[in-house]
Amino acid sequence: GAGVSQSPSNKVTEKGKDVELRCDPISGHTALYWYRQSLGQGLEFLIYFQGNSAPDKSGLPSDRFSAERTGGSVSTLTIQRTQQEDSAVYLCASSPRAGYRSEQYFGPGTRLTVT
C-alpha cells in the first residue's frame, strides 16, 4: 500500500518568508509525528498528533513553528519568518496508534533551504 508522502520534496525560500510543509500519513494511522534532521543536530522530535490533537509540542524550537492536522489525516507544518537555521530536512512519520507498541513509518522528507 501507499506509504507516508510529503510535499514538496525540496523547498528553497528566502529568509523571512513563511513556508508550509505537508504530510500525508498512511491511511488509518492515527498517530503522526514531525522530526527535523539537520547537520550537527541529528534527528530531533518536533511534535506529534493523536488524531487531530497534539499532546506533545515540546520539540517545536520557537513560536514561529506551528502544525495542524485535519480530519485525522493530512498534517501541515508551518514555519513563519524563516531563518537560515531552519534549513534542514523535515521528516514526517505515522504509526497505527500512539505509544511504544507501534512502529513509526517515515516519509521521504522535505529538504528546506533558507537563503
Partner 1 sequence: KQEVTQIPAALSVPEGENLVLNCSFTDSAIYNLQWFRQDPGKGLTSLLLIQSSQREQTSGRLNASLDKSSGRSTLYIAASQPGDSATYLCAVFTGTASKLTFGTGTRLQVTL
Residue listed under C-alpha cell 507516508: 4
> Rounded to an integer, what distance in angstroms lies between the CA atom of residue 64 and that of residue 84?
13
Among 1, 27, 53, 101, binds partner 1 (CB under 8 A): 101
Count of H helices and E strands in the chain?
0, 11
Report the nearest approach of partner 1 to the CB of residue 51 (Å). 13
The 27-56 site mask, x for binding partner 1 (CB under 8 A), equals ----x-x-x------xxxx--x-x----xx
User: Could you say whether residue 107 binds partner 1 (CB under 8 A)?
Assistant: yes
The number of residues in the chain equals 115
> Under a CB-based contact definition with an 8 Å cutoff, are residues 24 and 67 in contact?
no
25 touches partner 1 (CB under 8 A): no
Q: Establish if 4 lies at the interface with partner 1 (CB under 8 A).
A: yes
